[in-house]
Amino acid sequence: MLVVQSIAKNLQMPYDYKSIFKVVSDIKTIPVQLEKRSYSIYLDDNWESLFQEGLSSIYTKDASDRKLLLITDENVANWYQQAVEEQFRNLGFTVTTAVIKPGESAKTLGEAEKLYDIALEANLDRQSLVVALGGGVIGDLAGFVAATYMRGVPFVQIPTSLLAQVDSSVGGKVAVNHPKAKNVIGAFYQPQSVLMNVSSLKTLPKRELSTGLAEVIKYGVIYDESFLSWLETHMTDLMSLDLSLLSKAIQRSCEIKADVVSQDETEQGLRAILNFGHTVGHAIESSAGYGSYTHGEAVSIGMIVETRITHLMGMVPAEYVNRLEAVLIGAGLPVTLPDVDPNVLIGWMRHDKKNIGDKIGFVLPVGPGRVEVFHNVETDIVLEALA
């Protein structure tokens, strides 16, 4: 269900939002090099500086009468809607805000259709802007709407969860779910800018912090062994919301993803490494029902199962499986499978986007900081790893 709010409505904030955001560091800029579709990620802890640096060069007060659709959810709206609307008004925008219910169940074609209706009622045209304010679900859904409304309108990501900041807001993947498979209806559609306020993590539930750390840990496994070691050393402080360390973790994660995406925007090869843990993880999400496990929780279990597969294939020692398990547990993440028939999980894996023909695609670690894509894993080995 959607709730449309005008910019004139005054929300009752939990407390003065300006008191949350204190400037403690200089803004960080991470470029994503994609020729004509290049853009930058901006990381700071202050809304004003983020907008000044990340949007004022694109949209100025001279761009009067521009319209935008701000898409967020009920939880995020209570904290950040007022602050973000104010910044866009300062740039001369007329804002229509759509507030949806939180959770993976909102990533549907039906919900997208409701957002098209709101965009049409607000007279949004091809020069109008769609803005995603929230976590990964909001980013995926809003990005899908931006990619398909009038065959594509400008899009800005403002991710407020750790998962969205280090993963889903970067790289241009946008999608909605189908009842039979996750993220199979979508596009590659790059934003014009990504604005990350690290202070938004202060209002994040502990479970959502953990789910984001799953993707952070993934980057250490697939790309940067020294980053994985750094995470092992600092995990306690990261879990305690040390914003300085979280900022460093976000920056390194974005640098890694930006490097991969810059080399392979549409996942023709290298970008597939970002899916480590996701073949099993998506199967867990789908079989358990979207929302039973967070994305990071499912990927955490998936990374353990897929590393066990590699161990059973003789490519990594048992100590490596144990090491990954320990860092995931330290991040408050699950490492054991739910009570699901392994054959049911394999059935869901057969719908995975990485598959070739009837061969399930897995991204498997083959050494510290290195992974490869496999399409020749025997079903018996997968079943043994799941068991």
Catalytic positions: 151, 173, 215, 257, 267, 271, 275, 278, 282, 295
H helices present in the chain, as ranges:
47-54, 74-90, 109-121, 136-148, 162-163, 206-222, 225-239, 243-263, 278-288, 295-312, 318-330, 342-349, 379-386
CA distance 383 to 167: 29
| Backbone φ/ψ region at 103: left (φ over 0), alpha (ψ -120 to 50), beta | left
Strands 173-178, 28-32: pairing is unpaired
Residue of 146, 171, 167 whose CA lies nearest to 32 = 171
The SS3 call for residue 79 is helix
Strands 193-197, 155-159: pairing is parallel
CA distance 301 to 293: 10
Residue of 95, 28, 44, 359 whose CA lies nearest to 200 = 44
